[in-house]
Structure 1
């Protein structure tokens, strides 16, 4: 009975630490007093400082909350998913799996010529000079995945079954995005419109968060979640409505790619994230013991 009470208390502490970490992450973005909107260069640069600060302190939350018997067996670095074993697979295989899911949108980019842009050196040169591009596709995925996956998931995995954590930790991630509600209202959106957008964003980010959590659980690599997050940010939510605007054979082919991508993704989800590919058996056993 005493052991059961200790386990419940430890789980409560883990959840509490995750909540505090979420609040700290969002709060770090609002410590700067500024009249500008979130896309203003000054705001973006200051928030870069905030997330860099979160990179430094987020592991402390994990260290405080993790069972010390786990740290006796595996280092904090391993728990954070900062490993070299299986690094090549961790970069490319989850990315390839996610590209399969986006076969439909990629087919549309092929049709409209957008895909050719990636082969242009000037596209990448101009992108790395663009603060918003750096924020959306580098800084945000890095900071969010490190905080909400690398630092939170080991805390919850010591208390709950793996698949429970996969569908629980995204709630912290999704709720954290509600801070955009305040920003949209400052931009002139009505409460109803801002709330509708935020609810959709909550649904989308929570859904993605579950996928990212699954990737982290299976690969044991932080880099996997970063690559997948950056790619999904770039692709955005699949625009099925645009697909219906195509005519004739082109429309049929694109819709078939949407269906094929979903079927292949479901079929390949487990094989391409097999933990042994990533030398992740040790991580898996430690965090679920």
Structure 2
């Protein structure tokens, strides 16, 4: 097999790639530039385009949506320019390298989603216990009351769905942010780092650093925009960064193992919907905490089997990567 830093077609009959590599310095510089641009472009409407202040939250968020979409497209273009793909099949190959694929799509959605949900077993148990308390207090065993509860729950589900569709912040949290962040910080950065010769375990711990840089602007917004004290702003952003770094490790692992961009995206959306896992609720702390530990234990037991590249790729007999064209598979 070729040296790790070289991009060499595993099957010479398959067109679309050329020999070459990306230097580590160039890959790191490109990743830093992507992270910086992803944040800087948020302020372009105000400080570059000199647009009038947004008249509403919807207008403000739509401007930001357009900005991060532009940043994502620019990152894909930069990735395409740096990776050694130069012929007429370059566009389709770049999409494949970035994990934008249709093959094994169902598995890439369902399995990582189920795996991620194991971290929230404690949260689910806590909510079930709250229903149990209501059962005892409100005599839910009566059939008529059960019907009313079912109708109320169904109506709440419809109302919540309606709220998500019409709420601009829900679109940010559950659509735009997960897709654009995973596209830039996983799909564009990780292939560059792989092609530069970084090992997979190094990338898992390295790429979230760039992901965290994209959240440092929250410190300025809290301190200058919302007039928080500096210490409180640092504490809030520090907690956010700690959570984003841990999620970044997991999302990078998912992308490296599955080769599907949709895998970290669905995990990102699910975590945004669920928030922080419930570990110590107000009641039944021991039971919920035990459930949380069981869920976490099951997660780590299934982590490698559930993300085996063989589940998400048609042929990994000779190459552990998620497409046919590179020798970086030996690092996986």
TM (norm. structure 1) is: 0.87
Q: Is the 8 A contact 2:164 2:171 kept in 1?
A: yes
Write the deviation string for residues 90-130 of structure 1: whole angstroms up to 9, x where unpaired. Answer: 001000000012111122233345xx579722321221111
Q: 1:63 aligns with which of 80, 89, 94?
A: 80
1:284: how far off?
A: 4.5
Q: Is the 8 A contact 2:120 2:292 kept in 1?
A: yes
Aligned mates of 1:64, 1:14 — CA distance in 2:
12
For 1:288, the equivalent position in structure 2 comes to 328
Point out 4+ residue stretches in structure 1 off by more than 6 angstroms: 3-9, 69-72
The CA deviation string for residues 245-287 of structure 1, in whole angstroms up to 9 with x for no partner, is: 20xxx43321211110110001000011011100173534726
> What's 1:124 paired with?
161
Query: Is residue 227 of structure 2 the alignment partner of residue 209 of structure 1?
Result: no
Q: CA RMSD in A?
A: 2.8
User: Matches of 2:213 and 2:68 in 1, distance apart?
Assistant: 18
What SS does the aligned partner of 2:287 have?
helix
Aligned to 2:44: 31
**Structure 1 stretch displaced more, 92-101 or 275-284:** 275-284
Separation in 2, partners of 1:154, 1:210: 15
Deviations 1:68-99 (A, max 9, x none): 48988x81111110111110000010000000
What does residue 222 of structure 2 align with? 184
Mean alpha-carbon deviation: is it higher for 26-35 or for 261-270?
Answer: 26-35
Q: Which sections of structure 2, spanning at least 5 residues, go unmatched?
A: 7-19, 47-51, 132-152
Work out the CA distance in 2 between the residues paired with 1:112 and 1:174.
35
1:138 match: 175
CA 1:86–1:8: 2 relative to 1, 3 Å? closer
Can you give the 5+ residue segments of structure 1 that lack an aligned partner in the other structure?
Answer: none
Q: Report the alpha carbon displacement of residue 200 of structure 1 after superposing the two structures with TM.
A: 1.4
- Whole-Å separation in 1 of the counterparts to 2:22 and 2:157: 55
SS of residue paired to 2:44: coil
Specify the structure having the higher radius of gyration (Cα).
2
